A and B are shown apart, each in its own frame.
Chain A
Amino acid sequence: MSLDIDSHIRHSSRHIGRSVPRREDRGPLTGKGRYVADIRLPGMLEVVFVRSVEAHARIVSIDTAEAEALDGVVAVYTGADLAEVETFPDYIPYIGPVTQRPLAEGRVRYVGAAYAAVVAVDRYIAEDAATLIAAGTVYEPLPTVADLDQALAPDAPKLFDDWDSNCSFDVAPHKPEVDEAFEHADHTFTETYVSQRQTGLPMETRGVVAEVAADGTLTVWSSTQSPHMVRTTVALMLGMPEPQVRVIHPTVGGGFGTKTHTYPEDIVVPWIARRLGTPARWIEDRMENLVASVHAREQRHTVEVAYDDDGTVRGVRCASTLDMGSGEIFMPGTAPVFVTNACITGGYDFPNMEARTTGVVTNKTPAGAYRGFGIPEGALVMERIIDRVARLTGTDRVALRRRMLLRPEQMPYVMHGGGRLDSGSHAESFERALELTAPALQRARSRYADDPDVRVGVGYCNYVEPTSPSYHLTTGHWGGGDAATVRVDPDGSVRVAAGVSELGQGNVTAAAQLAADMLGVSPDDVTVVLGDTERAPYGLGSWGSRGAMMLTGSVLLATERLVDKARKIAAHMLEAAEADVVLTDGAFHVAGSSQPSVGWAEVGTAAWVRTVDLPEGMEAGLETSGFYHPDNLEHQLDDTGKINAAASWSNGTHIGVVSVRVSTGELRIEDYIIVHDCGTVINPALVEGQVHGGVAQGIAGAMYEHFQYDPDTANPRFASFMDYLVPTCAEVPHMEVDHFESPAPEQPLGVKGCGEGGTVGPPAVVAGAVSDALSEWDVDLTECPVTPVAVRAAIRAAAGSGAGAGS
């Protein structure tokens, strides 16, 4: 595929690279978005799931009689009723086997696991019935494991009786050259770094509506990021031919990874609709959402670092352990910790690294995908290591980063984890961000010059962002490509349908821009269809910073084929040689003279309607498809645990200026600077939106959001947004964003993804900035979130209790 962008652009005023206004906003902003919860079907019944209140227990009995007798209750189902439904597939061979039934049977392994479903005429009655079923459930509690230490203890209670331990996987390649680096280094240190449990938290929770037509075909509306994958799995588990299942995602209010999974509700609600012959719906409420949608990010990293007196990092050993929760989720939430280890070196180059990758089950909500997918956890570790080495050796933090950063002439560069950085602006981004930081730091220092209680610090993060990854590593089943179909109708209008989804990113706008330039028409002439398995071709949806790349690749393949055919038709109509005919601004003409010409309407009309005008022997129709599958993707780890699992790699630098109030530990991000590089930019406004939103979620992880569990019972210590603190507009600081464009040399138009990078920097930046601000106490934070309590605890630990208070 060509990086020669101009050869594919057939519009004289190019749309790619311009902030074409978003098409997606009118509905949501005017209250006319059509979310799953807005879908009303005649006779539709309400489904409510009854969820475990025990973290680990055998279910002895479930008394549903009282609930079934309630006026307005239509049916109550437990696991045994769904015997005919297949078990969730278990495609990944190297992880501990998990038998996940659509409703938990006999045993529950986390608070929130659905074990019964109520169908009623409305949600109120359904919840009344669910309360009665909960009261009628007899549990035999089992001992719980609430964290990694408990789960890995030699005598730990096991979640799965047929496993040897609670360890699901443990990949530990040994590299002798790393041992050698440690032997020759001047010094070593060991530290443990921790990222806390969070979730992607879309504003719209999940929801499923299902309806069966008279002919037996099933339509499922699901708030998912991946409608085709849901279709494949629903059809498989319900034993239906795939063409008889249609999955639609209407307006989706965000996914952030949580909606990449196919959940029990995606199976049970359609099953109920088929069983009862009545439309059924379930809308996740926020209480459910906090325990029944996947969690993420809970990782512990035990690190050994070998370094020399001059600050040179000679080698790193990192053992990364993921808390998988109960592991009962499809697809399994195992991949992020592999991504952590693959990306942990960020934009830095040092000679030796050995990474161990471990997954452990606990009695908590299953872990899964969340925007960032392991990258922020690794970035926290790497930046804290560099700051520690700088401090221990008396090296300047910025100078040490400069020494370690990748330079353009090192591209392509293969990282220790096997990722192949095709291009990037690692060192340049850092320099640019430093320039932008200088005035911000000056501002903050003068703001607090007269306040002896406040310290100001700076934190840095230089990261890489794998984009358009293999989904085989994650699912053990799917690959990593997507399809698009492009059609020109008789009136010359263009229709683009693609397997990528739209969840707020702006993929509809981007698809219209791409097709418009490639076909020489206005974006207004392009209708875009996404998120409907019946109307759009197979694709894996939107996640993994893949939307822009998949759209570019698949739309480009389809439009090139379309233009080839249209040029033949036009040449015939112009009575010219095909090779002489070019397409500019929607008109086919002979190169060098704009007249005579034929437009898309004439070509479209010939193709579909006046087929008598077609060249002899040409098949009618003007619709082409392309399935883009990046050919540089690797899908399996090699013997040393290496893989290049991404089609391309974006990069960026985040720098934050943070003030800390010593007496109370309160912190405030004064300024946040981002220099970002995602290759060729299709729409700068969309990229900026992704960066802003990502950074906001990164700040959530750096300072606020934290799922805490009771260590004795593994019960959640959260039930609402009173306990799970989401930053609001008051907490998210002003951001200054600048861009580099290092086109992906092997990707269509040089486009890279940009969906996740924003989340990566803040944990490392905030921990680094606060440690810098409190350097007089030698504070060196190793965990997120960084809260006022954590700040005070660090000061006390470093200086003895009471120090600093009120000073």
Chain B
Amino acid sequence: MKPAPFDYCRPSTVAQALEALGSSESSRVLAGGQSLIPAMNFRLTDVSVLVDINRVEGLDTVACDPGGVTVGAAATQTRVLDDDDTASVVGGLRVALRHVGHLQIRNRGTVCGSLAHADPAAELPALAVAAGAMIDVSGPAGERQVAAGDFFLGPFWTALDDGELITRVRFPAPPAGSVTIVDEVSRRAGDFAVAGLVAIVEADGGAVRSARLVGFGLGGAPTRLRTAEAAISGWAADHPSDGLTEAVMADTADAFDDIHATAWYRREAVAALTVRAARRASATRKAA
């Protein structure tokens, strides 16, 4: 479990980082390293140049304004989790980060690194899709912005091209009065989800008005549950669950098996989490 030889560089500007990334086809960005370094130690990832962006000027910032939160590529998950201003603007970040790994992992792991890694069972990509986050990317061809909904293409596969780097991500504030729910089934505390759901729900007078629902842990990219989004509107706490369950099953037909769970289990569980979220959201508004 020792990595093969590689070159390491630690640039101080984005331009230097891009230059280093462009110097080899198998260059990789090191931010928190919580997934990359084990993969290198297992010799599963062939890395010739490791570009450490932790000292790149301006990438470690977390900026809040009433419209949203912008998280730089080197900002750790702990930093975002502990930031009260962030929590007050985009509450879903704190809710999601509580499910991410353990303290030691979050102390190193970064928000943008989780997006770039695109583990199908990770919480942050799903939150980004549900929240309509915008991802800033720098590369040899300049800067571009990619909507989270277009960014995740499959398991460990994103819209990032060779030589490109995420510099920051912006999570817009959710609609006023909405509830953000991040719920999942994981085998152990802190594990990646076997099945998960991010729901940003707007409810009114005890009934769900609209919701953005994203399933994760299904094997591929975070999945917008569009049929379920239609089915959930008008939901009240005592609503029968069958229609919503069927909608989620229809939305998750691409789920797949691995050693931790079967596809049908994942789909059933995401359906159960969706029903639970709908009940919770409608109940929350009733109480308020």
Contact = CB atoms under 8 A, between A and B. Distances in A.
A787 interface: yes
Contacts of B70: none
A734 B260 CA distance: 26
Given A789-B262, A792-B265, A805-B241, A730 B189 contact: yes
B1 A806 contact: no
Given A287-B42, A805-B241, A806-B241, A664 B188 contact: no
Nearest to A719: B42
Interface stretch (B17-25, B161-169, B268-276): B268-276
Ordered nearest first, which 4 A-B pairs have the shortest CB separation?
Answer: A730-B189, A663-B272, A806-B241, A806-B275
Interface residues of A, number: 35
B221 interface: no
Interface string B25-60: 000000000000010001100000000000000000
A443 B259 CA distance: 34
Interface string A764-798: 00000000000000000000000111001100000
B43 A285 contact: no
A128 B4 contact: yes
Interface-centre pick from B3, B5, B260, B268 (highest chain A CB count, 10 A): B268
Interface in A666-698: 666
B205 interface: no
Interface-centre pick from B5, B187, B261, B276 (highest chain A CB count, 10 A): B187
Contact of A730 (B190, B194, B272): B190
Given A131-B43, A725-B191, 17 more contacts: A123-B2, A128-B4, A128-B5, A131-B4, A285-B1, A663-B269, A704-B188, A722-B192, A730-B188, A788-B185, A788-B187, A788-B194, A792-B265, A792-B268, A793-B265, A802-B245, A805-B272
A717 interface: yes
B157 to A, nearest CB: 19
A806 B245 contact: yes
A664 B272 contact: yes
A704 B190 CA distance: 14
Nearest to B257: A789
Interface in A124-150: 124, 127-128, 131
Contact of A287 (B1, B190, B273): B1
A625 B38 CA distance: 51
B263 to A, nearest CB: 11
Given A663-B275, A789-B261, A806-B275, A725 B189 contact: no
Interface string B1-19: 1111100000000000000
B252 to A, nearest CB: 13
Interface in A644-666: 663-666
A708 interface: yes
B265 A728 contact: no
Interface-centre pick from A663, A728, A807 (highest chain B CB count, 10 A): A663
A91 to B, nearest CB: 35
Interface string A709-748: 0000000011110110101101100000000000000000
A286 B41 CA distance: 11
A128 B6 CA distance: 12
Nearest to A122: B2
B190 A663 contact: no
A303 B244 CA distance: 43
Contacts of A706: 259
Nearest to B275: A806
A671 to B, nearest CB: 18
A725 B188 contact: yes
A124 B5 CA distance: 8
Interface of A: 123-124, 127-128, 131, 285-287, 663-666, 704, 706, 708, 717-720, 722-723, 725, 727-728, 730-731, 787-789, 792-793, 802, 805-807
A241 B59 CA distance: 65
A127 B2 contact: yes
A286 B265 contact: no
Interface string B250-268: 0000000001111001001
A731 B259 contact: no
Nearest to B3: A124
Given A124-B2, A788-B265, A731 B188 contact: yes
A728 B42 contact: no
Interface-centre pick from A123, A717, A727, A805 (highest chain B CB count, 10 A): A805
Contact of A787 (B1, B187, B272, B273): B187
Contacts of B192: 722
A801 B215 CA distance: 22
Contacts of B1: 127, 285-287
A720 B42 contact: yes
Nearest to B274: A806
A723 B4 CA distance: 23
A764 B30 CA distance: 46
A355 to B, nearest CB: 32
20 contacts: A123-B2, A128-B4, A128-B5, A286-B1, A663-B276, A664-B269, A666-B185, A706-B259, A718-B259, A720-B38, A723-B259, A725-B188, A731-B189, A788-B194, A789-B262, A792-B265, A792-B268, A805-B268, A806-B241, A806-B275
A147 to B, nearest CB: 15
B187 A725 contact: yes
Contacts of B273: 664
Contacts of B244: 806
A663 B275 CA distance: 10
Nearest to B278: A806
A666 B196 CA distance: 13
A32 B103 CA distance: 25
A695 B272 CA distance: 31
Interface in B177-218: 185, 187-192, 194-195
A788 B269 CA distance: 10
A121 to B, nearest CB: 13
A665 B269 CA distance: 8
B197 to A, nearest CB: 11
Contacts of A666: 185
Interface-centre pick from A123, A665, A727, A789 (highest chain B CB count, 10 A): A789
Contacts of B189: 728, 730-731
A36 to B, nearest CB: 17
B79 to A, nearest CB: 23
Contacts of A793: 262, 265
Contacts of B187: 704, 725, 787-788
B78 to A, nearest CB: 18
B193 to A, nearest CB: 11
Contacts of B194: 788-789
B32 to A, nearest CB: 16
Given A664-B185, A792-B265, A806 B259 contact: no
A287 B4 CA distance: 16
B274 to A, nearest CB: 9
Contacts of B5: 124, 128
B175 to A, nearest CB: 26
A96 B260 CA distance: 35
